[in-house]
Amino acid sequence: STPLIASPARTQAIINRYGLSAKKSLGQNFLTDPNVLQHIVSAAELSEQDNVIEIGPGIGALTEFLAKNSHQVLAFEIDQNLIPVLDETLSQYDNVKILNQDFLQVNLPQVLAAGLDMSRPLKLVANLPYYITTPILMAVLQSDISFSGITVMMQREVADRLVAVPGTKAYGSLSIAVQYRSTPQVAFPVPRTVFTPQPNVDSAIVTMTKAPVFETKPFDEGAFFKFVKGCFLHRRKSFWNNLLSMFGKEPDVKDRLTNVLEKNRISPAIRAEKLTIDQFIELTNSLHSEGL
Ligand code: SAM
């Protein structure tokens, strides 16, 4: 039988036969370690009932594992040179559909409704193109699609920021944007040596399950995220100084900001990185009540 696409020898053979050169600009680093692929599939807890979407199938290394362990796979690949390659490498799997599309330009609800039976559980499993990790995660988490699981590989340093807790260096607006909408966890680290070509960073597999329930809701999500971003704009400044940059230094504004801090029992000398998501939500709402 044909060896796995991910085996180093077959990957090299595919690259040679098609004269492929991995495009750095598209984040092309192909996985060549079947053990890592097996880990990804296990972390995703795939079952034959699940439909899966994949972003960036490359030459099909992960897609092959997804096809074997799920009902149907819908994969989005931006690079049209890889489409004939995927047609060949995945020809024995009749449950895979490849779309030659930029994932960030796709109308996801429409494409999914057209391509998949949406009554089945839907999972996202991907070895992401690292140059657009954040926009992809935001698009996925902000979409109205309810995923029964998200399992994605990304740069280790970005994974650390996603899961960071208050009071740590890695905690910031990205941690909050993701943890507001999901519960991210690092499933396992992945060394750079399992890719062809090797990237110059290590990676990690992250799973994202449903978001925790917060004490209150922001009166407006846009206002909440704008406020969080503003709080982390100058990381070394005190929270108070960040507030003044955001709302102004007029005496009347300072009075109202003082009221907000007192009401929430937050010291002006604190740094934004110490505040929890619940506190950011409460602050957003109190600022709004003070007309700020
Ligand atoms: N899944 C393969 C693997 O694990 O070996 C390849 C992963 S590689 C890190 C990322 C893939 O994403 C590349 O095939 C690249 O062409 C594709 N890609 C990059 N930008 C994309 C986009 N905007 N939409 C869809 N695919 C994209």
**Banded pLDDT at 13 (limits 50, 70, 90):** very high
What is the pLDDT at residue 1? 72
The predicted model gives 173-180 an average pLDDT of: 96
Q: What is the DSSP letter of 151?
A: E
Q: Does the Cβ of 36 fall within 6 Å of ligand 1?
A: no
**Distance in Å, CA 56 to ligand 1 centroid:** 3
pLDDT tens-digit readout, 96-120? 999 999 999 999 999 999 999 999 9
**Banded pLDDT at 89 (limits 50, 70, 90):** very high
**Distance in Å, CA 182 to ligand 1 centroid:** 23
Q: Whose CA is nearest to atom 11 of ligand 1?
A: 56
pLDDT tens-digit readout, 18-49? 999 999 999 999 999 999 999 999 999 999 99
CB atoms within 10 A of CB 146: 9
Q: Which of 14, 28, 63, 105, when mutated, tests ligand 1's pocket best, judged by the most ligand atoms within 8 Å of its CB?
A: 28
Which strand (E) or helix (H) includes residue 94?
Answer: none
262 is in an annotated binding site: no
Q: Which of 12, 15, 30, 151, when mutated, tests ligand 1's pocket best, judged by the most ligand atoms within 8 Å of its CB?
A: 30
**Antiparallel, parallel or unpaired: β 122-127 and 51-55:** parallel
Distance CA 61, CA 58 (A): 7
**Distance in Å, CA 24 to ligand 1 centroid:** 10
77 is in an annotated binding site: yes
pLDDT tens-digit readout, 116-127? 999 999 999 999
Q: What is the mean pLDDT of the chain?
A: 96
Q: Which atom of ligand 1 is nearest to the CA of 79?
A: 16
Q: Does the Cβ of 102 fall within 6 Å of ligand 1?
A: yes
**Distance in Å, CA 31 to ligand 1 centroid:** 11
**Antiparallel, parallel or unpaired: β 122-127 and 195-196:** unpaired
